[in-house]
A = this chain, B = another copy of it.
Amino acid sequence: MNNTIPYKIYLEEHEMPRQWYNVRADMKKKPEPLLNPATLQPMTEDELSQVFCRELARQELDETTAYIDIPEEIRDFYRMYRPAPLVRAYCLEKKLQTPAHIYYKFEGNNTSGSHKLNSAIAQAYYAKKQGLKGVTTETGAGQWGTALSMACSYFDLDCQVYMVKCSYEQKPFRREVMRTYGAQVTPSPSMKTAIGRKINEEFPGTTGSLGCAISEAVEAAAAQDGYRYVLGSVLAQVLLHQSVIGLETKVALDKYGVKADIIIGCAGGGSNLGGLISPFVGEMLRGEADYQIIAVEPASCPSLTRGKYAYDFCDTGKVCPLQKMYTLGSSFIPSASHAGGLRYHGMSAIVSELYDQGLLEARSVEQTAIFEAAQNFARIEGILPAPESSHAIRVAIDEALRCKETGEEKNIVFGLTGTGYFDMYAYQSYNDGQMGDYIPTDAEIAESLAKLPKL
């Protein structure tokens, strides 16, 4: 055991990042632009500002500014729950008997239970600064909705959350956390919006989907004066805010002279992965360093490993801009899995482009293998991980075991995005031996890819 590295590397508050890092600035080939679904032309700042607040629209389109100041008000909020620790997984290493050194950046030490708060507070801040009354959003697993509720409560903004109906019913406690923070939570599809009523009519008794909840939230924002829509993943602005994860990780590693060899993150919409890897990918793009970067996605929703790099809709209602991304098609309905945060048909345009350029690799893993890793990790490292985060744990363990075979003393760094306290139905299913694996067939994926928009 290397005693010079503590179990948990906490940065001092003055070591926390003062600027976010915009990886697009270092990409020679940038992600393709968002397109207006009506005109098929690149979205302008004015057009985007009808959906998002002005400063966020600006951030969304800014491909050249590498570093963007984090406003002092946001830094004050960050200081309440950040810096997040970079943990040396000594106990896990010992249990695996691996020569590898395993580190994880733990983002679960806040009431939202995940990294989502990093962008929620930024989006709420800019909305408040613009003088808005409130924001609307969707939530699936509930982490994003909780994070946004906390952020809006802090800045005294109204918060309206459209929560996928099956989650609303299965996770009443998530709903109550949001209510405790003053948010108004509506099960989606609802009867409050035209798209919700349409979907309820077409599919009576439907339990909803993320794509549908997005459409409802966008419609609800447009229908109210002083409201804008906010989104917790996929967008470039979100990856920008989430770069705080990677920046802190890098400072913490540098502080102890540790060079990462492998960097692993779970990937749903790409917010955590993109944020974690940004500064490292920046070094790769500038030719300063090299890393093996692994995106881990569920075998039930394999957008990177089995999807297509194409323009697609971000939502079911097709009201959002078109984005070029790795996608399974916006009509793809991921099977019911317990990693709700990863059940998205598409992927961040930035992550997609980096993947297309070969800067990262992707793996898909099955649910039961994920929960085996989750349970082991909980028992060995004492943290009960979220199902989403456990995708990264699975591959980190696999890589550490590979090092055991080869004898390599690699430094493995992974993102532990959050805790699983509100996912105990899933753990119960695993504890009871009732959990299954669901992998879409080639025909299913081909069918939904055939419906991609023709540009």
Where the two chains meet, the residues of A that have a C-beta atom closer than 8 Å to any C-beta of B are 6-8, 10, 12-13, 76-77, 79-81, 90-91, 109-111, 113, 150, 153-154, 172-173, 176-177, 179-182, 375, 378-384, 419, 421-422, 424-425, 427-428, 431
Contact = CB atoms under 8 A, between A and B. Distances in A.
Contacts of A419: 111
Contacts of A176: 424, 427-428, 431
A205 to B, nearest CB: 25
Contacts of A379: 150, 153-154, 180-182
Given A76-B90, A80-B381, 18 more contacts: A7-B80, A8-B79, A77-B382, A110-B383, A111-B382, A150-B379, A154-B380, A154-B382, A172-B424, A172-B428, A173-B424, A173-B425, A177-B421, A177-B427, A180-B378, A180-B384, A180-B427, A421-B422
A326 to B, nearest CB: 33
B421 A173 contact: yes
Which 7 pairs of residues, A with B, have the shortest CB-CB distance?
Answer: A173-B424, A7-B79, A176-B424, A421-B421, A111-B384, A153-B379, A6-B13
A150 B384 CA distance: 10
Contacts of A427: 176-177, 179-180
Contacts of A150: 379, 382
A74 to B, nearest CB: 13
A378 B112 CA distance: 11
A382 B80 contact: yes
Given A13-B6, A79-B6, A424 B384 contact: no
B80 A424 contact: no
A113 B421 CA distance: 10
Contacts of A90: 76
23 contacts: A8-B13, A76-B91, A77-B382, A111-B378, A111-B384, A111-B419, A113-B421, A150-B382, A153-B379, A154-B379, A154-B382, A172-B424, A172-B428, A173-B424, A176-B427, A176-B428, A177-B427, A179-B427, A179-B428, A180-B378, A180-B379, A181-B378, A181-B379
Contacts of A77: 382
Contacts of A6: 12-13, 79
Contacts of A111: 378, 382-384, 419
Contacts of A375: 180
A421 B8 CA distance: 24
Nearest to A156: B379
Contacts of A422: 421
Given A13-B7, A379-B154, A424-B172, A384 B80 contact: no
